[in-house]
Amino acid sequence: PGKKRRGRHCVATRMGALVRVVGILQARMGSSRLPGKVLEPIRGRPVLALILDRLARCETLDTIVVATTTEARDDAIVALCQSMGVHAYRGPENDVLARYVGAATEADADIVVRATADCPLLDPSVVDRVVRALRVSRYDFASNAVVRTFPVGLDAEAMWMDTLTRL
């Protein structure tokens, strides 16, 4: 997941410029239903590592950032990210939007792909289809979950950075 990726994709955009597509994976240890679930093992590997591996297989992403909180309990998430060569952005626990905006800004994103650490079956090809649909459309947001067309857990969302900052 931490391998060097392309800088900016050469695609048609609103302004005809190159775009940087950033996958942001939201992860925190403070789940109310199952605290620490993002580091629970599946077949001997933390869930978070499995999802990062899946995101790394997306052809449309230039980089991946994990958005976590500034809480001490999330130090373990940052440590895992460091061991995998993935950047972790830390922001306020009670403001997930601020974490996304901060991570996207720091990564110089033009397009933001939203992913969550409780979907270990994320499908890279589905993410790529959603990103490609956004890039060729005139829309601000693309998703396969507005009208559910895939099972829960295979949701993919992509939006232009200026759309994220308007939320």
Which pLDDT does position 12 carry in this prediction? 47
Which residue ranges of the chain lie beneath pLDDT 70? 1-17
What is the amino acid identity at position 16? G
Return d(Cα 153, Cα 46) in angstroms, integer.
Answer: 17
Rg (CA), the chain: 15
DSSP string, 98-121: HHHHHHHHHTT-SEEEEEETT-TT
Which pLDDT does position 1 carry in this prediction? 65
Count CB neighbours of 148 within 10 A. Answer: 11
Question: pTM here?
Answer: 0.89
CB-based contacts of 70: which residues, under 8 Å, 6+ apart? 90, 91, 92, 93
